[in-house]
A and B are shown apart, each in its own frame.
Chain A
């Protein structure tokens, strides 16, 4: 009995990790046949990824959309979170629910609705339209993340700053931001990662030439599966490890500060 739980847990954690590791291993296969285990080691599929104009373009598009989404979502989300924290009015809980509603709405419904509405005003298939769509999906995470850090913030500090004659912008920059930036940064990273991974909204809103990495992967898997897709998947996987590391570092920093 004492041993069963750790053994079961190990098996389940292995189930969680192994598929990605196996796919990564296959991406180094020297042959096109994705038999297991691969005979030998080669970087040809990575070379293929970095020299193929389609994959390079998709990477570029993804980074552009994700960066813009991150900026818009972080600015608007942080502003709204601070406003929600400062404000003393009724209906605050309703407002939080409303702003985070895209998180619990099936993405397919959101995507179809955006496609319909954005077509009417002519921004479907454009970069601003795509960024707007991704922002709606990503912004709730920024709001939640910043709101969580604000829980530990002493609002008296802002009153002190105001009584000393600081403008709201100045108190944000000199008092609030230095204390809550880990929450803002964590939200920003999550927004970036969300946009980078986003597929359903992109499927509906992207124009014919606007291929992002997930869209390019999806198209290729359905057409013709090659290890190049696994190379792309591995690169994305490594990037998500980096995001996770940064976000954990931010979390540690925030919790250390709280204890101090």
Chain B
């Protein structure tokens, strides 16, 4: 009987399991893998790569490598498959694209011996550094993207060091994402706590009315609410009117595209996510603890600090963790109401995917983003003793 039930259960679970494995886990795994993969040199310059395998990295490679790269670059240009290679090497060092294209365009004009011919075309071909770069890009794996995503790079000699300050952008990006997420999470928790406590203490029908006022924004579309903020924060919008009236601003200003806009809109969108778990913990709380505390002579503040707060902490942690989780990977609201300097990691993942077509960078940033969310989930799990996190539709 038990065996038969289990077979039935397995048959019922299998379709969804296959869907999640095939359309979610496998794609995520493959994509994260591209953060490490380095296929361009191996596919476009196989013979050059083979010739460079024999090179010890000092002085210059043998003539065979020069001959191979001249031939393979010309062929790649002819067959229109040089783009990925040029992008890959140029990403590691600016200027590589022109260097490669110069050889590819020279094509048949280059004659043996190729070594002096290439160096005559561009003296950088006479530098061991150029060749070491190509040799190291031979794959199959690279740490380039994972290092670059934290503003580190490998020197031509192979040492890991920080990139030049004018190229360092990602640590600022992580810092900005973290600080926006932390500000949003703390504000949401601080605002959510009194609301949840009030809802838990109200008697029907007021408790249902108040809860409905939280559920309405929770159910309404994130895009709709972000769009509303876009309109409200515009130069003619009511927020400007209010700020001018209060004397905070002298004249209306464009608030869309500022950090203030990102923070207020994100807090507004995520606040219900913080309130709901707190309400559920607080309404289930046994009131007799509070009575017991009062009957033992504790004042209001003492009861709050010693009884109410510790007992409601799991709700606070669940709500806070969920808000942080959503804020750290948030795309829509910052993209809509933020400026160029307010964009978070998610925006850069999309940017590298869609505009730069640099899958490696996109994947490397995803790896760090997932690591951040995983760490928060793990901490929340440990602190709440495994209380499940409620989902939110974002």
- Taking a contact as CB atoms under 8 Å apart, the answer to whether A240 and B220 are in contact is yes
Interchain CB contact (< 8 A) of A89 among B6, B229, B359: B6
- Taking a contact as CB atoms under 8 Å apart, the answer to whether A110 and B228 are in contact is no
Per-residue B-contact encoding for A1-37, CB less than 8 Å = 1, 0 else: 1000110110011011101101100100000011110
Give complex CA distance A107, B28 in Å.
11
Q: How many residues of B contact A (CB 8 A)?
A: 84
Within A164-198, which residues are at the interface with B (CB < 8 Å)? 168, 190, 193-194, 196-197
Nearest chain A residue, comparing its CB with the CB of B352: A112
In the assembled complex, B31 has its CB within 8 A of some CB on chain A: yes
Q: How far is the CB of A20 from chain B (nearest CB, A)?
A: 6
Give complex CA distance A6, B191 in Å.
13
In the assembled complex, A230 has its CB within 8 A of some CB on chain B: yes
Q: Which of B96-104, B151-159, B168-176, B193-201 contacts A (4 or more CB under 8 A)?
A: B193-201
Q: How far is the CB of A183 from chain B (nearest CB, A)?
A: 15
In the assembled complex, B133 has its CB within 8 A of some CB on chain A: no
Question: B210 — which chain A residues lie within 8 A by C-beta?
Answer: 9, 13
Give complex CA distance A16, B267 in Å.
10
In the assembled complex, A243 has its CB within 8 A of some CB on chain B: yes
- Taking a contact as CB atoms under 8 Å apart, the answer to whether B28 and A141 are in contact is no
In the assembled complex, A143 has its CB within 8 A of some CB on chain B: yes
- Taking a contact as CB atoms under 8 Å apart, the answer to whether A5 and B219 are in contact is no
Nearest chain A residue, comparing its CB with the CB of B301: A1
Interchain CB contact (< 8 A) of A83 among B12, B30, B31: B12
Q: How far is the CB of B314 from chain A (nearest CB, A)?
A: 17
Question: B391 — which chain A residues lie within 8 A by C-beta?
Answer: 100, 103-104, 140-141, 144
Do A132 and B217 form a contact, CB below 8 Å, given A99-B17, A106-B346, A237-B224?
no
Question: A233 — which chain B residues lie within 8 A by C-beta?
Answer: 221, 223-224, 227-228
Within A194-218, which residues are at the interface with B (CB < 8 Å)? 194, 196-197, 199-200, 203-204, 213-214, 217-218
- Taking a contact as CB atoms under 8 Å apart, the answer to whether B17 and A13 are in contact is no
In the assembled complex, A43 has its CB within 8 A of some CB on chain B: no
For this complex, into which size category does the number of interface residues on chain A fall?
35 or more
- Taking a contact as CB atoms under 8 Å apart, the answer to whether A199 and B377 are in contact is no
Question: A89 — which chain B residues lie within 8 A by C-beta?
Answer: 6, 9
Interchain CB contact (< 8 A) of B228 among A13, A20, A79, A193: A20
In the assembled complex, A249 has its CB within 8 A of some CB on chain B: no
Q: How far is the CB of B29 from chain A (nearest CB, A)?
A: 8
Give complex CA distance A117, B232 in Å.
39
Do A87 and B349 form a contact, CB below 8 Å, given A9-B194, A76-B19, A132-B23?
no
- Taking a contact as CB atoms under 8 Å apart, the answer to whether A107 and B236 are in contact is no
Q: How far is the CB of A33 from chain B (nearest CB, A)?
A: 6
Interchain CB contact (< 8 A) of A236 among B20, B194, B220, B241: B220
Question: B335 — which chain A residues lie within 8 A by C-beta?
Answer: 218
Interchain CB contact (< 8 A) of A110 among B24, B199, B238: B24
Residues of chain A at the chain B interface (Cβ within 8 Å): 1, 5-6, 8-9, 12-13, 15-17, 19-20, 22-23, 26, 33-36, 76-77, 79-80, 82-84, 86-89, 95, 98-118, 132-133, 135-136, 139-141, 143-144, 168, 190, 193-194, 196-197, 199-200, 203-204, 213-214, 217-218, 221-222, 225, 229-230, 233, 236-237, 240-241, 243-244, 247-248
Interchain CB contact (< 8 A) of A23 among B227, B325, B336, B389: B227
Question: A230 — which chain B residues lie within 8 A by C-beta?
Answer: 227-228, 231
- Taking a contact as CB atoms under 8 Å apart, the answer to whether B12 and A118 are in contact is no
Interface centre among B228, B236, B366 (most CB of A within 10 A): B228
Do A108 and B350 form a contact, CB below 8 Å, given A17-B213, A36-B236, A214-B223?
yes
- Taking a contact as CB atoms under 8 Å apart, the answer to whether B195 and A139 are in contact is no
In the assembled complex, B300 has its CB within 8 A of some CB on chain A: yes
Q: 16 A-B residue contacts at CB 8 Å? A: A5-B194, A9-B210, A20-B220, A20-B228, A36-B237, A76-B19, A80-B13, A101-B25, A105-B28, A108-B331, A112-B31, A113-B32, A204-B350, A233-B224, A233-B228, A244-B219
- Taking a contact as CB atoms under 8 Å apart, the answer to whether A107 and B27 are in contact is no
Question: B6 — which chain A residues lie within 8 A by C-beta?
Answer: 87-89
